[in-house]
Amino acid sequence: MKTTIEISDDLARTAKAHAARENITLRALIERGLRLVLRADRKEERFRLRDASVAGKGLKAPYSDSDWARIRESIYEGRGN
């Protein structure tokens, strides 16, 4: 299929130089690039984090005004050194 695309002059020059170095046609380079992008898009599914929310009203006393260091301290209290 014959088609016309409009790309920036800089990109066209870079693509032509790359194709010449690879000893391939500009058409082959463009087809390869399109195939790579289309294949990657198919494989790349968006990651969705499952909703792990819990019902509640926040932290209970005495932790409601504590920072993470204090909460962590309480978790490990009496364990190890």
Q: Give residue-wise pLDDT tens across range 67-81.
A: 999 999 898 988 876
For residue 36, the enclosing domain spans 9-43
**Number of domains into which the chain is organized:** 1
| Residue 54: per-residue pLDDT | 84
What pTM was computed for the model?
Answer: 0.51
- Residue 23 domain-assigned (yes or no): yes
Instruction: Kindly report, residue by residue over 34-68, the tens digit of the pLDDT.
Output: 999 988 877 767 778 899 888 888 888 888 888 99
- Residue 34 domain-assigned (yes or no): yes
- Residue 69 domain-assigned (yes or no): no
Contacts of 66 (CB under 8 A, 6+ apart): 59
- Residue 48 domain-assigned (yes or no): no
| Residue 44: per-residue pLDDT | 65
- Residue 67 domain-assigned (yes or no): no
Average pLDDT for residues 2-24, to the nearest whole number? 96
| Residue 45: per-residue pLDDT | 72
Task: Determine the 3-state secondary structure of 31 from DSSP.
Answer: helix
